[in-house]
């Protein structure tokens, strides 16, 4: 896993780099915005950690440029600011997570792990898998043009699987993503929801999109795509 860190406070950068290297990540570090953007543009990172207040380009400007390039790399923002307005703006621009300084390295570590496990996120507003269409803004789901009514959890589950068609998601990944972190129930809740979703999504169609991969988890894919 290769991580880019853009942080102008050398002390903070050193602590993070040391911590990440101890975790065996490959880390590149830049101390200004311009070189941060050049590195982000030049290499395929698994994760980018951006400070907001930087000489040259700001973290937000780098974020905008990376997303305009249509890169799906997970981006975590580090900042001394904790204004809600900044957070919302950065999330809208495509940040995946946000950590306010000062923070404990352990917290950064947990967030990095979560982002790396989740991988790149497809942010386009309409997701398509075969004849299935998911509009993420209106949360409307259609199959072969026919509207499918889903509950909120069924929708979240479907949207999550549809972000990466063909990828197999484990029950644990699904729980972590679709249920909140306080969820302590059994992972077989996933099986129950998959069953409900399958009835609505696949039962009346010849091509089944929702697949069970025995012993591993679930995936959503159109056979013609695989
Ligand atoms: Ca700074």
End-to-end Cα distance, the chain: 26
Q: Cβ distance 121 to 100 under 8 Å?
A: no
Distance in angstroms (rounded) separating the CA atoms of residues 117 and 213: 19
Tens digit of pLDDT for each residue in 177-194?
887 656 667 768 899 999
**CA nearest neighbour of 123 among 75, 77, 155, 167:** 75
User: What's residue 176's pLDDT?
Assistant: 78
Tokens 């490959």 correspond to 26
> Is the pLDDT reported for residue 225 higher than 60?
no
Distance (Å) from CA 120 to ligand 1 centroid: 25
| Domain 126-220 of CATH type 3.20.20.70 | no
Domain ranges of the chain: 2-117, 126-220
Which CATH number is 2-117 given?
3.40.50.2300
Distance (Å) from CA 68 to ligand 1 centroid: 23
> Is the pLDDT reported for residue 82 higher than 80?
no
Distance (Å) from CA 69 to ligand 1 centroid: 24
Residue 210 has which token pair? 């929702």
């Amino acid at each position: 896993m290769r991580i880019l860190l853009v942080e102008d406070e050398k002390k903070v950068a050193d602590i993070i780099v040391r911590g990440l290297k101890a975790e065996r990540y490959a880390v590149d570090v830049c101390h200004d915005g311009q070189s941060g953007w050049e590195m982000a543009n030049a290499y395929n990172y698994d994760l980018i950690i951006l400070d907001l207040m930087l000489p040259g380009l700001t973290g937000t400007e780098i974020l905008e440029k990376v997303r305009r390039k249509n890169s799906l790399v997970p981006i975590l923002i580090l900042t001394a600011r904790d204004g809600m307005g900044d957070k919302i703006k950065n999330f809208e621009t495509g940040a995946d997570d946000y950590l306010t300084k000062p923070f404990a390295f352990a917290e950064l570590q947990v967030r990095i792990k979560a982002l790396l496990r989740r991988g790149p996120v497809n942010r386009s507003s309409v997701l398509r898998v075969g004849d299935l269409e998911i509009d993420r803004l209106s949360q409307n789901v259609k199959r072969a043009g026919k509207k499918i009514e889903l509950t909120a959890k069924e929708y979240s589950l479907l949207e999550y699987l549809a972000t990466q068609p063909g990828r197999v998601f484990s029950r644990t990944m699904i729980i972590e993503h679709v249920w909140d972190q306080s969820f302590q129930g059994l992972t077989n809740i996933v099986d129950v929801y998959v069953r409900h979703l399958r009835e609505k999504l696949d039962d009346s169609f010849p091509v089944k999109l929702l697949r069970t991969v025995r012993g591993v988890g679930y995936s959503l894919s159109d056979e013609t795509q695989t």
